[in-house]
Structures are given as C-alpha cells and as structure tokens.
Structure 1
Amino acid sequence: MARIGTGIFSTLVVGYLSDKYGRRLTLGIIVFGEALRILVISIVVFFNLSPWSLIVSELLEGSIGGGLLSISAQIAACLADLTQNSQNNNIVSNENMDMETRTKRLIKERWLLFTLLDGVVSCGMALANALAGYMIQHYRFYITMLTCIIFLIPLPISLLLTSEKSVKIIQVAEPDVENLSHELSDTTSVIQNKSGELQEFPNSSYSIHVKSGNSCMNKLRIVSNLPRTHLIIVSLVFMFSISGITDVQYLFLYLMSNPFLWDAQAVGLFIGVRDVCCTFMSVFCVSMVVKFRKNQPDNHIEVTTSDGATSNRINTTLFNRFKSVDQILLMVLVFFGFLLLSIHQILMGLASTLTVPSANIFIYFATIPRCVKGFQLPILRTMISKWTEVSKQGMVMSVVGVVERLGILISIGALPVIYASTISSFKGSVFLVCASLTIMEAMIVL
C-alpha cells in the first residue's frame, strides 16, 4: 500500500516526462527506482534489520518511477507509438493499402500487443511468485535476493541498446498554419483542427502542438479535461481494478478455511496455474479474432438522400464511436467479459456453502469463466489509445495507470476488511460484492 500510495503522483510525472523527453528516459527512471528497492531489501536481509525497514524500499519504488503499474503504462505508450499510422511503420507494410484499412490493421495489432503485454506481466508475476517461494523454501533469502539482482542487471543494458521510438514533439509559440504547412510540405503533411491550431502529422513520427504557459501544467490538465468517452473508459478501469484485477489478498484465507482446508502450497499452485491458463487463453482468443477480422471486407455505410440518390460513401473507421462492426465487436467482448467474470465471482462465493468435494469442484468450475479476465484491460487501453492524440499517449496511459493503481489500493484495503467482517456469517460475501461491481461495469458498457 505504501508503494501504491506514493506512486500515484510519480506516475503522472513520469507520463509528462515520457511525452516531453521520450520513453527511454522514463523507463530508465522506473528501472532505477526498482533497483533502489531491491538494494534496500537486500540490505535489510543481509544485515538482519527490522522488517519495518522494508517500508523504505516500497516508498523509494513508489516515489521514483512508480513501480510495476507505471512501467506497464509506459510500455503501453511505446506499443501505441509502434502502431501509429506512419509511412515508416513496419507492422503493416503493404504499400498499396489505403489509409483506412491500414489504420484498422494497426489498431488490431495494438489490441493484440496490449493483450500480450498483460499476458507477459501476469505470467511473469506468477513465475516470480512461484520461483521466489521455491527459493526461499530451499535456499533462504540471501540467494533469493542475489537472484533478483541478477535478473535486474539486463534491464539497464537493454535500455542503453534500444533506440528511442517515441513521437517527437515540436513546440511553437504562435504557429502560422499556412506558412508552416509550406515549410513542412516536403517531409510530412499537416492536419488542422477546427480552431485552426496545428496539431499532428499522421504520416510521420512527429506531432506538433501550441506551447502556452507552463507545459507541465498543461499536461496535467489532461486529467480534468478528458472527453466523455475517455472518462467512461477510465471509470471502467477504476471499477475493474477494484473488483477484478486481483483477489489474492483474500483468496488465500478463503481457500485455507472451511470447507476447503487447502494448504498454502496448494493455493499458490492453483493461483499460478489459473493465471497462466487465463493468460494463454486470452492471447489465443485475441489472436484468432484479429486474424478473422483481417480477412473480412471493409465496412461501408451508404447515405441515401430523400430522392433515392446515393450520396458520398462514408467509410466507417475502427472505434468510430460505436458505428463500425469492429467497434461493436470489441464492446460486445467487453460486455460479455464482465458478465462471465461476474459468474466466476458468484460461483466462488457460493462454493463456501457446499461441502467437500462439491466445494472444490465449484472452485475448479468457476475458473473457466475467469479466462475472459485478460480481455478487459487491453480492449479498454486500445480504445482510449485510439481516441488520444499522438503527443499525449504517455500522459493518458499514465492517467490510466494511476486510476488502476487507485483501484488496486482500494481493493487491497477494503476487500479484506469485508471478508473479515463477514467471515462468521457468510464468508463468500466478498465475492458477491465484487460480482455486483462487475455487473455495474457491464451495465455502463451498454
């Protein structure tokens, strides 16, 4: 909780630095904070200091970079950069492809990459927990901390060897749109918005915005000036972070109590296998959907006038505010994903009313609908990334990371209290509370 609490502000700062100075710098800051955390933990372990000293390590990680959620947000921004509609983009390399089809392909690739990112994080955490438990059991803390240091060393080396892929920002005080467009016409194209401000060059890796006042404060104002669609997605991420991202904080106690009476090793193995299976299922399903939609013809809407004549054909674009088949497909996946996740939580709660072996069978059966958990956040990130300007990807992804962090903080603090207060009456009530929140999320999608 100390790490999550202190990391809220630092995650926003990292998002601002990411858009202004590049992704590699901010990833280096986050890795530096993680290195300090491991160093402090190693000192506490090697010198047998008070366990309360570990709070310092959590505060360091949270205040310098923000930790895991912050690095996930910045990697998501990097993936968004790699899937921007640029002539130099290598993901969709067909030169004869029109801009609309190219954009659709890139957004689908972005969705797949976001799903892979969540999958890698989930598998990595499951592997880390299993490996740490095994090493602590057999080799104690000293060898475990040395192993953590060894795993950390390749990170700064890889950052030094990686080139900067973020969008370059060109700031101007009062741009003359007409003159500036002539100056840049040899290298890229210019898009002018309704207010006449020069904003971005979609055919290159550059974007441009008006510089006014304190640019850092302007970046932070993004939080309060998010469009309505962004606010809906952010609220879904917040509620999902409370109800669906993690249940480990009370699941161990739940499965180790009556009627299940599992031991800690069995619970840890169950959680690890469950998360890995859900991750592979999510990646497989998303890959199949992306491959299937790639082979589908482009969707068009023909507007017919009152005299029966067909006017200009309007090509629907992906995520065109619920007007395209792809957009409807993603929203349907999110909706049914929330419903299936609520079924999982209801079954988990009702399992405590049964006796062994029926209770254990219920637990195993409830794992099946949980396989859709990996769909939700990648789709929501893809939608908010699509509707965000290129020059604000890092900041908006950091906002999503902060909201996710707040939700997890509430989940860690509130849900165990609910479980403890209802354990004597109905210990599965915490799952029903989460299920009610998940059903509310499904209703918001509608």
Structure 2
Amino acid sequence: MAPSVVSGGEFKPRVRVRTGLLELIVVVTYAGLVSYYPTIQQYLFHRMLDEKREIGASHSHNGTSSLGNSCYNNTSEEQEAEEMAERESAEWLLYIGLSNAVPGIFSTLVIGAITDSRGRKLGMVIPTVGTMIKMLLTMLVVKLNWPLYVLLIAGFLDGCLGSFGTCFVAALAYLADVTEPGKTRTFRITIVQALNGVCASAVSLGTGYFIRAAGFFYPLVVALVLFTLVVFLVVLFLPETVEPSDDPIMSFNRLTSTVKTYIKPREGNKRPQLMLLLLAYLLLEMVLIGKGVLSTLFQMGFPFCWRSVKLGIWSAVGTTVQVSCMLLLLRPLTRCVHENVVGVFGLLSEIGELLMTGLAVNDVMLFFAPIAGFLSSMPASMIKSVSSLLVGPNEQGSLFAGISSIQLICFTFGSSLFNTVYASTVSSFPGLVYLVMSCLIFLTCVMMGAVEVLRRKSDQTAYFQPIPTVGEDSDVANDGDVADNN
C-alpha cells in the first residue's frame, strides 16, 4: 500500500476504514483501563487499611472489607490508620507503576517504530495481549489474596509487551494514515480524546456502584472481557494501512529511528518546535499521571473520606463537564486562533483546577475544581496534533512512539516525585502536591507560548521568501518528484 499523500491539494488516505471503527477500538480499550485503575487503587487502600486494623490476615479482600465510610469516627487511632494506609498504598502504586514503565520505555520505542514498516495492527494487538496477562494476574491477587509482589510481576510483563501506551501510539499513527493533515486531523484526535472522556464518565460511575455491590474482583473480569473484544475487533475487522516490509523486526535502527525523528534537521523552525512540544508534553503528562494516581487516595483520605460511589460520581461529573466544553469550544477556538494558543488556554484552565483542588477543604470545592478546569482536556490533543504536522507521513509511528515513551518516563519520575511529596505531607498539608503540579503546568504554558512564537516567525520568513521563476519552480518540482521516487 502506498502511503497517504497530498497530491494536487487532494489528500489520499491509505485505506478506507469503516466509520467509527478505530474510535470504537480505542474507546473499548480505554473502558477496560478505567475499570482497572480505580479498582486496583481502592483495593490497595482497603487492603492496607484492613492490615492496619489487624483484619487482613483472616479477611478476604474480594470487596466486602471496609467498603463503608471508615471516617465514621474521627478518633486519632482511626485517622492514623488511614494516613498509614494512604502512604503504603501510594508506595505500592509507585512500585507497580515503575515495574510497568521502566520496560515499557524501551518496548514502546521498538514496537512504535515497527508499526511504520510492519503494520499498525501489530502495535495494537501485542500491548493488548500484555494487558490481558496483567488482568489475569491481578484477578488472582484479588480473588485468592496472593502477595502484592505478584502485581509487580504483572506490571513488568505488561510493560515488556508495550502496555496501553503503545496501543494508543499505533491507534494515533493509524489515525494519521487515514486523515488529512490540519484541522481535520486535529478534530479527529480531539474526538478520540472526547470519546475516551465520555467513556471514562460512564465507566467510572458504573465502577463505583459495581465495586460497592460486587467487590473488587468482578470489575477486573469486565476489564478482561473488554480487552479480549479489542483483540477480536483489530484482528478481524480493522484493515491494515501499512504494507509490511522485509526489514528485520528487531534491529538497532528500530530503537534509534524514534530518536532521529526528533533530532534530525528540518526546514524552518520545525525541529526546535518539535523539541519544545516534546518537553511540554513531558511536563503535562507528568502532572496528569501524578494527578490520576493520587486523586483517589487524596479523596479517600481525611477530611473527605470518599468511597467508591462518590469517587465515581465525582469522576463522571468532572469528565462530562470537561469533555462537553472541549466538544463545544474546539471548532470555534481553532477557527479563531492556532492550536498552540488553544493549548495555552487549556493549560491555564488546568492550573485553576489544580489550585482549587490543592486548597479544597470540603466536598463542594472538590466538585467545583473540574469545572475550573473546563478546558484542561485540550492541551494533550493540541500537542499531538501540532507535532503530527511537523513530521512526514512515514514518521507518524516513530513520532507517537516517542510521545508514548515520554509518557512512561513521566510516569517513572512523576510518580516518584508526587508520591514522595504526598507521602511526606499527607499528615500536614495533603493538597501541597497539587500546588507543585500547578507550577509545572505553568512551565508547560511558557513552552507552548514559545512554540507559537517560533511558528509565527517561521510563517513570516516563508511569507517574505522570493517567489521562484517559472524555470526554478519547474526545477523544484522535478527535484520533489525525484525525492518522492527515491
């Protein structure tokens, strides 16, 4: 299959894809993840809390232990037990995340680059199978009360096969293959993000009630079924967009091709823009991952003492508000200003959400925090879309592999940083970690502003370039044809 090209102003996609099929695959995958992460976070907290109450040795953790509101009495012993459970569960979440992220950094680089020559479907199936293995081992830990170090093994195996990040890399590269560069691609990427948000709202709300009614085991069963469905849809119904080449699957060039995508010389100011966007995404993801890991523990701790149902309601309300605002405002904003500026607006909104969360002292403030972040879903989509426009069609897999690897690096360092800050301040000022996050988002905002300055400078330079004569124009066209043929 020939790569997708723009010829005579007309974009020619690589294949015809059933409308909404790719979006369905991404949403189902995301639904499985949303079922998993809140479940394992709450499971670890309740298991640690039971152990502090000297129940863990004789009590099954299949969902019936301490699922009520353990803050019913504000005794110093109960509060101390909860703070210790928060600290220990935060540490276990850090270890599990590191066991997944460290091998995932390298596997994502390799598998992401492979998708440019061996096919995008391969990059979706391999990580999903790894996640299914992790689900099975986690279910055994929850059902049979196995030691928690088994979760480290599960995370490591999942990371070696790429994890969800690599699957999303392949999906974004697939999307770049079948969409026209520019506003269309930006809109499709944002739609995928929005659908993930809608899915997160529904699944989070349902998972909260599901955990209260059935415990921690059955939400993991649902997640496993969803990942199995993803493999089925990709293998049987999704057409391939890349013609497999005869290059060896494993080579040193696979590992370095992603790095070369970001550092090789490019016309205009594209290379510094790409590097700044990568750094901006690094800081953004570091904060988003830290916020996702710690929000559940923060809300379950004193003085909020939320449990599964209220956690699900908060997640559903916040995600619905943010996704609705993104869908309603994306088109008007991108028609008025460039995607970089839209990203800056979203980052400022994210700062507002973090500040309100960090300073919250009651439930009302926590529920209003996502409303303050009504544009916070936009920056990640804008960064991916703008980055995609700066590289060629055959570099999309390597580009998004680099983005996903940065995400895993962010998890490694971000989890360590924010978990350390939270564990150190949970007794005195639990919200301090959110104030630290807001400072990092401010730096991200500065970087996005610098990218916009470079873009405008590049546009002005191109505008004042002399117009080539007819002969020169013909030579340039012939050179381009030769390059294409090569």
Query: Out of 388, 395, 399, which is 1:396 matched to?
Result: 399
Instruction: Give, in angstroms, the shift of residue 277 of structure 1.
Output: 2.4
Please give the alpha-carbon distance, in whole angstroms, between the structure 2 residues aligned to 1:142 and 1:421. Answer: 31
What pairs with 1:159-198 in structure 2 (closer than 5 Å)?
159-168=234-243
State which of 235, 238, 243 in structure 1 corresponds to 2:287.
243
Pair 1:147-2:222 in alignment: yes
1:406 corresponds to which residue? 409
The worse-fitting range, judged by mean Cα deviation, of 124-133 and 374-383 is: 124-133
Q: CA RMSD of the aligned region, Å?
A: 2.8
Instruction: Show CA shifts across 1:90-136 (max 9, x none).
Output: xxxxxxxxxxxxxxxx4212111111222233343454444444334
How many angstroms apart in 2 are the aligned matches of 1:445 and 1:144?
A: 39
Would you say 1:22 and 2:119 are equivalent positions? yes
Alignment partner, residue 36 of structure 1: 133
Deviation at 1:234, TM superposition (A): 0.5
Q: Which amino acid in structure 1 is aligned with residue 352 of structure 2?
A: I
CA distance in 1 between counterparts of 2:391 and 2:235 reads: 29
Q: Which stretch has the larger CA shift, 3-12 or 243-252?
A: 243-252
**2:60 match:** none
1:342 to 2:351 alignment: yes
Could you tell me which residue of structure 2 aligns to residue 380 of structure 1?
A: 383
Which has the larger share of strand?
Answer: 1
User: Which residue of 273, 283, 287 maps to 1:229?
Assistant: 273
Q: In the TM superposition, what whole-angstrom CA distance separates every residue of 1:420-443 from its partner, at most 9, and x where no partner exists?
A: 323444332212111111111112
Q: CA deviation at 1:170?
A: 7.6
Secondary structure, in 3 states, of the residue corresponding to 2:376? Answer: helix
Counterparts of 1:435 and 1:142 in 2: how far apart (Å)?
A: 35
Q: Are 1:74 and 2:149 matched, yes or no?
A: no
Instruction: Please report the TM-score for the alignment, with normalisation by the length of structure 1.
Output: 0.69
What is the one-letter code of the residue matched to 1:343? G
Contact 1:349/1:429 (8 A) holds in 2: yes
For 1:117, give the aligned amino acid: V
Give the deviation of 1:368 after TM superposition.
1.9
- Name the CA distance, whole Å, in 2 between partners of 1:165 and 1:431: 42
Superposition pairs of residues 80-119 of structure 1, within 5 angstroms? 80-84=176-180, 106-119=181-194
CA distance in 1, matches of 2:273, 2:373: 27
Q: In the alignment, is the contact (CA less than 8 A) between 1:81 and 1:165 conserved in 2? A: no
Secondary structure in 2 matching 1:222:
helix
Structure 2: how far apart are the matches of 1:4 and 1:236? 19
Q: Aligned ranges for residues 347-366 of structure 1 at < 5 Å?
A: 347-352=356-361, 359-366=362-369
Percent identity at matched positions? 20
Letter in 2 for 1:222: K
The residue type paired with residue 214 of structure 2 is Y
* Aligned residue pairs, count: 343
Q: Which has the higher helix share?
A: 2
State whether residues 244 and 438 of structure 1, in contact with CA within 8 Å, keep that contact through their aligned partners in structure 2.
no
Evaluate the alpha carbon distance shift between residue 60 and residue 360 of structure 1 in structure 2; reply closer, same or farther with a 3 A threshold. same
Cα offset, 1:387, TM superposition: 0.7
| 1:302 equivalent in structure 2 | none
1:339 maps to a residue whose letter is L
Structure-2 residue corresponding to 1:367: 370
Contact 1:169 1:391 in 2 (8 A): no
> Which residue number corresponds to residue 438 of structure 2?
435
Letter in 2 for 1:336: F
* 1:437 maps to amino acid: L
How many Å separate the matches in 1 of 2:143 and 2:360?
43
Residue in 1 that maps onto 2:34 = none
Contact 2:205 2:316 in 1 (8 A): yes
* CA–CA distance in structure 2, aligned partners of residues 264 and 163 of structure 1: 36
CA distance in 1, matches of 2:441, 2:205: 29
Change in 2 beyond 3 A, CA 1:335/1:362: same
Going from structure 1 to structure 2, the CA distance change for 1:145 and 1:20 (only over 3 Å counts) comes to: same
Partner SS for 2:360: helix
Deviation per residue, 1:213-266 (Å, 9 max, x gap) = 964255144266252211100000000012245524333343445554544532
Q: How far does residue 383 in structure 1 lie from its aligned partner after superposition?
A: 0.7
SS in 1 for 2:231: helix
Distance (whole Å) between structure 1 residues aligned to residue 404 and residue 318 of structure 2 = 24
Give me the whole-angstrom Cα distance separating, in 2, the residues matched to 1:437 and 1:145.
34
**CA separation in 1, counterparts of 2:413 and 2:234?**
33
Gaps of 5+ in 1: 85-105, 173-212, 294-325, 353-358
2:310 is aligned with 1:266? yes
CA contact (8 A) 2:206 2:312 kept: no
Q: Is the 8 A contact 2:173 2:400 kept in 1?
A: yes
Maintained 8 Å contact 1:22/1:164? no
Q: Which amino acid aligns with 1:112?
A: F
Q: Distance in 1 between matches of 2:288 and 2:231?
A: 33
What is the one-letter code of the residue matched to 1:443?
V
2-structure distance, mates of 1:218, 1:366:
41
Taking a change above 3 Å as real, the CA distance of residues 248 and 219 of structure 1, as seen in their structure-2 partners, is closer
**In structure 2, do the counterparts of structure 1 residues 150 and 423 end up closer, same or farther at CA, with 3 Å as the change threshold?**
closer
Aligned-partner Cα distance in 2 for 1:146–1:350: 37
**Aligned partners of 1:381, 1:281: CA distance in 2, in Å?**
19
In structure 2, the partner of 1:216 is: 254
Check the 8 A contact 2:105/2:405 in 1, yes or no.
yes
Structure 1 residue 268, shift from structure 2 partner? 3.5
Residues 350-402 of structure 1: CA deviation (Å, up to 9, x unaligned):
334xxxxxx44433333222121111011100011011111110011010011
Note the alpha carbon deviations across 1:127-172, whole angstroms, 9 max, x for none.
Answer: 4444444334323455444433332332222122335443448899
Distance 2:135 2:114 in 1: 24
Partner of 1:49: 146
TM-score, normalised relative to structure 2:
0.64
CA drift at 1:343: 2.0
Q: Secondary structure at the match of 1:351?
A: coil
Question: Helix, strand or coil for the counterpart of 1:373?
Answer: coil
Q: Which residue of 2 aligns with 1:137?
A: 212
Q: Does residue 4 in structure 1 map to residue 101 in structure 2?
A: yes
CA distance in 2, matches of 1:133, 1:425: 29
